[in-house]
Structure 1
Amino acid sequence: MTVVAGPGLLANCRRVLGPDPHPYRFLADRVEHHGGRRAFSSRRMREVLGAQPYLLPAMTDAGRRALAAYGGFVTETVALAAADAEVARTAADAEVARTAAG
C-alpha cells in the first residue's frame, strides 16, 4: 500500500505543506523504506507460500488487520489535519477582519 499510494501522497504533502519534509517525515521515511523492499518482499512471500501454503489464511488475516490499523491511522490523521486547517482558517479570517477594520 505504501509503495502504491505513498508517492502520490508525498507529492500532495509537498504541494500543500512545501518541500521541507519535516511535517511529513514519518510518511516520507515509510515510503522511502518500503519502496526498495517491494521486490524482496514479493520474492520472500512466494518462497514462504511455496514451501508452506497452509500459512496463507493466517498471513491473509494478519494483512487484513494491518490494513485496518493503517486505515485507522489515516482516518485519524485526516481528522487532525482537518481540525488544524479549521484553526488556521479561523485565524486567517480573524486577521483579514482585523486588517480590514483597520
Structure 2
Amino acid sequence: MFAVGALGSIVAINLQIRLMDAAGEAQMLGAALNHSALNVANGLGAFFGSLIISAGHGYRATALVGVVLAVLGLIVFAIGLWAQARSPRAEQLSSRHS
C-alpha cells in the first residue's frame, strides 16, 4: 500500500513538471489545469464506479472501470506526447533541457 501511494505521488509530481514545461509562459495556468484534471478524474472514477455497482455488477467490477480509465488516460498521454513531438515548440523544449 505504501508503494502505491508513493508511486501515485511521484507520477503526479512528474505530470505537474511536464505540464508546466509545456505551458511555456502560462505555467500557473498549467498547474491549475493539472489540479482541475485530477479532481475531475477523481469525480469521474467515483461516478463510473457507482454506476457499475448500481447496475448490479458488484464491487469487483469497479476494478475493470479503473483499468479502462487508466488505459484511456495513457492514450491521452500518448497523443499529447505525439502532438508535442510534432510541434515546432518541441525543438525549443529539447534544446532548453540539453
Shorter-chain TM band: 0.3 to 0.5
Q: Greater relative contact order: 1 or 2 (C-alpha under 8 angstroms, separation 6 or more)?
A: 1
Instruction: Judging by fraction of residues, say which structure has more helix.
Output: 1
When normalised by structure 2's length, the TM-score is: 0.47
When normalised by structure 1's length, the TM-score is: 0.46
